[in-house]
Amino acid sequence: MASPAPAISEEKSVHQSSAIINAMTVDVEDYFHVGAFENDISRDDWDNLPCRVDRNTRKTLDLFGAHGIKATYFVLGWVCQRYPELIREIHKQGHEVASHSIGHHRVTDLSRKEFVEDITTSKKLLEDTIGAAVIGYRAPSFSIGERNIWALDCLKEAGYLYSSSIYPIRHDHYGMPNAPRFAFKPIDGSEFLEMPVTTFELMNKKFPCGGGGYFRLLPYGLSKMAMDRVNNRDRQACIFYFHPWEIDPDQPRQEQAGFKSRFRHYTNLEVMESKIEQLLHDFKWGRMDDIFLKGNV
């Protein structure tokens, strides 16, 4: 069984030089899949809404290709079922394909049986699509924490080698503040790794600096300072994430959603792509499996 996070020792980063390679990750989902709109957009309507994930994800491939970067794509099964050629193209270009569940259900909303079915089905779907092993998983909305830490045992038993599903911060929708900041082994006697999205520490408090809405909302210089601090002071690789819809300011607007949800989702969409471009220029980037598991897969 998985041990409580506070008792787990952190794993040292495999990169200990000044040229630390950080992990670039993309959560492949469309604008209507996001947790912020789950009470405003019915799942029954997903197939009737204009999809933009294929176009936007291909834009990320072009961005990475221009900078010679390989990344990890956490792919929603719903997307893979509808755009298998996109997922094959991600794999063909040398990026890692990992799982982001089938239908973007929070793990906190699933029973253990339902979760096992989800991660098993997702893994097989992606593997059948790309013809290669899928070893990584990220929970929708970072929905693994103290109350369902058992999910990490399920992932190991299903054949995954790592998860990036815990965010060691306090947030109104997710977070496990007492979790280690960097990659750790949560299961006694196992090499299975949990790799939290990156935070930086200031005055004994953790602050997010691993992407998503925080990266869009905050000035770029602040995010760069925080990531430099992780690389240079902590001597650790950062794990950064964003979504394809975040570089799409022309996506359909959900005016029925509440103000907070709309603020979080739409703020600074028009500058996100240029901020990502700057990030790709300022840091070194690679795949999750290459950075944390090289030699073990």
Q: How far apart (Å, rounded) are the C-alpha atoms in residues 208 and 197?
A: 8
Any idea which of 129-138, 177-186, 272-281 has the lowest mean pLDDT?
177-186
**Over 60: is that where the pLDDT of 6 sits?**
no
Q: Produce one character per residue of 70-108: b if its CB has 16 or more CB atoms within 10 Å, e if not.
A: bbbbbbbbbbbeebeebbebbbeeebbbbbbbbebbbbb
Model confidence band, residue 171 (pLDDT cutoffs 50, 70, 90): low
pTM of the model: 0.91
What number is the average pLDDT over the span 250-274? 89
More confident residue, 8 or 91: 91
Any idea which of 58-62, 145-149, 151-155, 264-268 has the lowest mean pLDDT?
264-268
More confident residue, 8 or 186: 186
Q: How far apart (Å, rounded) are the C-alpha atoms in residues 204 and 221?
A: 21
- Output the six-digit token pair for 191: 């090499």
- Find all residues with CB under 8 Å of 61, minimum gap 6, and list them: 89, 90, 93, 95
Q: Could you tell me the residue ranges of all domains in the chain?
A: 23-292
Q: How far apart (Å, rounded) are the C-alpha atoms in residues 29 and 19?
A: 31
**Over 90: is that where the pLDDT of 259 sits?**
no
CATH says 23-292 is which class?
A: alpha beta
Q: Are 102 and 118 in contact (CB under 8 A)?
A: yes
**Phi/psi at 250 (nearest 5 deg)?**
-95, 10
